[in-house]
Amino acid sequence: MLDIRFLRENPDIVKQNIKNKFQDSKLELVDKVIELDKEFRSVKQEADSLREKRNKISKMIGTYFAQGKKAEAEEAKKQVKEFSDRREHLEEQEVELQKQITEIMMVIPNIIDPSVPIGRDDSENVEVEKFGEPVVPDFEIPYHVDILEKLGGIDLDSAGKVAGNGFYYLMGDIARLHSAVISYARDFMIDRGFTYCIPPYMIRSNVVTGVMSFAEMDAMMYKIEGEDLYLIGTSEHSMIGKYIDSIINEDTLPHTLTSYSPCFRKEKGAHGIEERGIYRIHQFEKQEMIVICKPEDSPYWFDKLWQNTVDLFRSLDIPVRTIECCSGDLADLKVKSYDVEAWSPRQKKYFEVGSCSNLGDAQARRLKIRIAGEKGKYLAHTLNNTCVAPPRMIIAFLENNMNEDGSVNIPEVLRPYMGGKDKIEVKEK
């Protein structure tokens, strides 16, 4: 969410930013919020003035009575009542106007970084860099569900009976691989200086609206019926929420956290062959990372975060690339974002396995996350990045480590988490 003062003083910049994000329907909101803000400030000024007059006259009432000026005292009491009634009405207007302003400001997109490429949607995202050599073996790589079934590692039919589409049972060595990847990612991030955290898996609505846009909320979040709680779609939400309404000593920054959690998503609009299996699902687990830092440090941490994911995937012999999200593909709170994509030998293309985002002070403004330093208090910057999400990561892992006989090699770094196993073998039927 933008600072209302910035919008008030720079309406043309805000409008151009909206155009750069191809959200022209929101252009009228800028003028509308400026008018509402003008009215709000006028009402507030009058209310403040009446409050001063009321206080001044109230002090005179006792004096009048002491001087025997009963008529003047009664007239003063009458004025105080009139001022109080008017002020009460104005304060109600203030509340309503502030509500309207906030609702509009919540949907006006954040100002994107000047380096972000201008484009309408993800088809215009830009490749930044490749890491590792993509390989297509001379044997056919089956669809990931077929690989998992041959390894005795998945049961979609039972999951469908128990919970419906979008769920799965992982079994045997594949279930163990899933846990191994999470444990390895945890230790990988701890070794890079991040503090390990297991956060709440449910968050209140004020945290939800503090960390994401209304459109994202509607598309992702599951609401707990009868309670002010939502299941998290990613642990970054509850980790950023940890700092709600807090003042952080500048000397303690940056705060770098890595978290494990299950994640729950509606996945509205998911479709197509690559959405089947475990590519898009309603429940999965993830290792995440977040940073709370000073504004001037967020570009540095942005580069550190996406590099962590690249390094982790490369340690597992999986080729990856980074893609910069263009303006039209950025969620409204984001300043800049890279996707990390893993190579799929079966599809002969890359697919998304993680997303790294700098949100500037947008989340901090909504959640009131401030820093106290020598120059006073100011808003923090927040960043997040996927370290690893095993469902998609497992797809990339299986395809890039598969042998012609259907077995799958286990990279050396994972073997301690797999009881020393160096290979997952095909199960005999």
Question: What domains does the chain contain, in order, with CATH numbers?
Answer: 4-105 (1.10.287.40), 122-424 (3.30.930.10)
Per-residue pLDDT of 26-84, as tens digits, reads 999 999 999 999 999 999 888 888 777 777 777 777 777 777 777 877 777 787 777 77
The average confidence (pLDDT) of the chain is 92
Is residue 199 within 8 Å of 289, Cβ to Cβ?
no
d(CA 179, CA 342): 20
Q: CA-to-CA distance for 397 and 359, rounded, in angstroms?
A: 30
**Whole-angstrom Cα distance, residue 352 to residue 184?**
20
Q: Which residue has the tokens 């263009």?
A: 326
Q: Does pLDDT of 272 surpass 90?
A: no
- State the pLDDT confidence band at 391, using cuts at 50, 70 and 90: confident
DSSP-assigned letter for residue 374: T
Under 8 Å between Cβ of 341 and 319: no
Taking residues 243-254, what's their average pLDDT? 98
Residue 273 clears pLDDT 70, i.e. is over it = no
What CA–CA distance (Å, rounded) separates 286 from 352? 14
Pairing state of beta strands 349-358 and 336-344?
Answer: antiparallel
Q: What is the DSSP string of 192-255?
A: TTPEEE---SEE-HHHHHHHS-HHHHHHHPEEPTTSS-EE-SSHHHHHHHTTTTEEEEGGGPPE
**Counting Cβ atoms within 10 Å, is residue 70 exposed (0-12), middle (13-18) or buried (19+)?**
exposed
Tell me the two tokens of residue 267: 């996945």
What size, in residues, is the chain? 429
pLDDT of amino acid 72: 77
Under 8 Å between Cβ of 318 and 289: no
Tokens of 27: 């252009």
Half-sphere exposure of 366 (CA within 13 A, CB side): 27
pLDDT tens-digit map of 132-178? 999 999 999 999 999 999 999 999 999 999 998 889 999 999 999 99
Query: CA-CA distance, 48 to 198, in Å (whole number)?
Result: 46
pLDDT for position 270 = 54
Alpha-carbon gap, residue 84 to 90, rounded angstroms:
10
**CB neighbours of 339 closer than 8 A, spacing ≥ 6?**
125, 322, 323, 325, 352, 354, 355, 356
More confident residue, 24 or 275: 24
% of the chain residues with pLDDT over 90: 80
Sole residue written with tokens 């041959």: 150
Mean of pLDDT values over 376-384: 97
Written as one letter, the residue type at 211 is V
Closest CA to 278 of 202, 405, 389: 389
What is the C-alpha R_g of the chain? 28
The whole model's pTM is what? 0.89
Q: Are 302 and 336 in contact (CB under 8 A)?
A: yes
- The answer to whether 411 touches 315, Cβ cutoff 8 Å, is yes
CA–CA distances in Å: residue 68 to residues 61, 62, 65, 72, 80: 11, 10, 5, 9, 19
User: Given pLDDT bands bounded at 50, 70 and 90, which one contains residue 305?
Assistant: very high
